[in-house]
Amino acid sequence: MAVIGYMRVSTHLQKFDSQQQALDDYGVDMIFKEYESGRKSFRNELNKALDILEPGDTFVIFKLDRLARGTKQLLVLLERFNELNINFVSIENNIDTSTPMGRFFFTIMGAFAEMEAELIRERVLAGLNAAKQKGVVLGRPPLVDQVNEALELYHNTKLPAEQISKRCGISISTLYHHLRKEGVYRTKTTNDLIDMGEFMVRGTKN
């Protein structure tokens, strides 16, 4: 069973001295060194360390802020360790999930993360309800300008529907939906009729 160490500093101007000494004293088999912000969820050296961990191994850091800057990010990693049966040790914080106290810490972390998520959800719902009471229309804004521009181009130019939809930032199905809704179509060329698909029959009637 391997003991894997991980160290992190934010820039190349910072040193690993205190982290290195603590991990060496703990007796790790291998150390991964990272120059990266702790707020980034994707870190090359951290991912390398995580990839080689196997059930029964121990992952060691100097202190919690070397691994993650937020509760959610930390909890995700701890849950991964728990699922894979990997022990987690934070030397400076006296955390060792192979002990009853360490497992208790994991439980407390999970409870705080769940409470934080619930509080966020409640604030979002309260905001939505307040907006509704004020008459605010919720949801995605309508593509009024894009649709109007597309209809104008379709009616007054020879541009194919596919090109118009890309230019205006709407789908072809959206364009055809509004053409059906407003009865706007053109029959200038054979290509136009083919491009219109389901509008071909209606177009040939003129």
Q: Beta-carbon neighbour count of residue 181 at 10 Å?
A: 10
Containing H/E element for 153? helix 144-156
Q: Helix or strand or coil: residue 176?
A: helix
- Nearest of 99, 20, 83 to residue 50 by alpha carbon: 83
Dig out the tokens for 130 from the structure: 């307040």
| Annotated active-site residue in 10, 18, 98, 171 | 10
Rounded to whole angstroms, the Cα distance separating 133 from 117 reads 25
Q: Verify whether residue 10 is a known catalytic residue.
A: yes
- In the chain the first and final C-alpha atoms are separated, in Å, by 80
Residues in the chain: 206
DSSP 85: T
Strands 30-35 and 87-90: unpaired
- Which residues are known catalytic residues? 10
